[in-house]
Amino acid sequence: MDAPLRFRASSTIWSRGCSLLYYGMARHLPSSIAPGGRWWKAIRAAVCRQLFASCGNDVNVETRAWFGSGRHLSLGDRSGIGVNASLHGTIIIGHDVMMGPDVVIYSQNHQFSRTDVPMNRQGFQPERPVIIGDDVWIGARAILLPGVTIGSGAIIGAGAVVTKDVPEQAIVVGNPARVVRSRTALVLQPA
Would you please indicate which residues are annotated as catalytic (active-site) residues?
110
User: In terms of Cα–Cα distance, which of 40, 68, 70 is closest to 55?
Assistant: 70
Exposure string of 140-161, with b = 16+ CB inside 10 Å and e = fewer, is: bbbbbbbbbbbbbbbbbbebbb
Residue 166 DSSP class: B
In terms of DSSP bridges, do strands 86-88 and 104-106 run parallel, antiparallel, or are they unpaired? parallel
